Amino acid sequence: MKRQKPAKEPQAQGSLPEQTRGASESLSAGTSRRSLLARFGLGATLLALAGQAYAFLRSLVPNVLYEQPQKFKVGTPSQFGEGAKFFEQQRVFVFRERDTFFAISAVCTHLGCTVKMERLNQAKRVKTQGRDFEEQVEFHCPCHGSKYYGDGTNYFGPAPKPLAYFKLEVAPDDGQLMVDMTARVSQDFRLTV
């Protein structure tokens, strides 16, 4: 007698076939791996961009901010002859008149160009703000033509006010003259040595 093959067991209703379930699991694992990788990629890109932005901004700021010292020594009185000595970096004239000294700024009061000292061919009698003196030099600005008398008083061009005078003192440690650009003084200021 021929034995009958047992009928295939019916599949439980509602459950996916084994193969389909496996495929779906590996698909979802693949998707989450891809999304993780995408997030890593995005994070790395953002980090790289942030790094570049920082490097760019940092390059705009110099490593060392160099500011001209506002107080500086210019030498001992004996190193000065009669007349003016110009200190180009600081843009200051230091004058000696016999045993007195004073310092005048070379910064034009119009827009800050450096004025030039012009030696006059002939001494000139000048009256400024009640002062009466004989000048040997004047200051002229090459930028817009302002002119200043020998005492720094503006008399021509767009400069709105006289050149500044700075305090001068003798350094206690070595006897050098020291200009203090933080201290403005009047045109009458004289340091007697």
CB of 100 to ligand FES, least distance (A): 28
Q: Select 139 or 165, whichever has its Cβ closest to ligand FES.
A: 139
DSSP state of 6: P
Which positions touch ligand FES (CB under 6 A)? 108, 110-113, 141, 143-146, 157-159
Least Å distance, CB 147 to ligand FES, is 9
Nearer to ligand FES, 94 or 159 (CB): 159
The separation between CA 44 and the C-alpha centre of its own chain, rounded to angstroms, equals: 35
Q: Distances from the Cα of 91 to the Cαs of 68, 101, 150, 163, 167, in angstroms?
A: 11, 17, 16, 12, 14
Shortest distance, position 129 Cβ to ligand FES, whole Å? 20
Q: How many CA atoms lie within 13 A of 86 on its CB side?
A: 10
The whole-angstrom separation of Cα 188 and Cα 136 is: 17
CA–CA distances in Å: residue 83 to residues 8, 110, 122, 150: 122, 25, 15, 11
Q: How far is the CB of 156 from ligand FES (least distance, A)?
A: 10
Nearest residue (CB) to ligand FES, 77 versus 158: 158
Residue 145 or 175 having the CB closest to ligand FES: 145
